Amino acid sequence: MLCQHANERTTFGALLADRQAIQWWVADAETRIHCLQLMLWHAACLQDAGADVRTEASMIKLYGTELATDVIDWAMQAHGAMGMTKELPLQLMAQRVRVMRIYEGPSEVHRWVLARNRLREAK
């Protein structure tokens, strides 16, 4: 939705797609989505090999929900006031991803577990 809208919406004589902030949001989203895909593939390979993937699952839950939060927020921002209305699904997406950050385990808990495990391994 962000990319489609950016290629259609003109403000102050230029497409949103030509604005650096929008371009950076798109670039960051693409890069982070690719990272998440690699994390998923890596965890799947480990799972297929019979390895314990609890650490990888925590990383994926943490990274994925925060990525979704950021991308939805950028899309809402690009859509302006319309992004906040029920006319578009963005506000519903934002609401659902916020809940995911709780039931998938709070980000702070995942960070704590990941750090605790890494610090133990470093002893």
**Segments of the chain scoring below 70 in pLDDT:** none
Question: What is the residue-wise DSSP string for the chain?
Answer: -HHHHHHH-EETTEEGGGSHHHHHHHHHHHHHHHHHHHHHHHHHHHHHTT---HHHHHHHHHHHHHHHHHHHHHHHHHHGGGGGSTTSTHHHHHHHHHHHHHHT--HHHHHHHHHHHHHHHT-
pLDDT at 104: 78
Range of the domain at 71: 2-121
pLDDT at 45: 98
CATH assignment at residue 74: 1.20.140.10
Question: Per the residue annotation, which of 56, 104, 108, 121 is the catalytic one?
Answer: 104
pLDDT, tens only, 35-62: 999 999 999 999 999 999 999 999 999 9
Count of structural domains within the chain: 1
Q: What is the pTM of this model?
A: 0.89
108 is catalytic: no
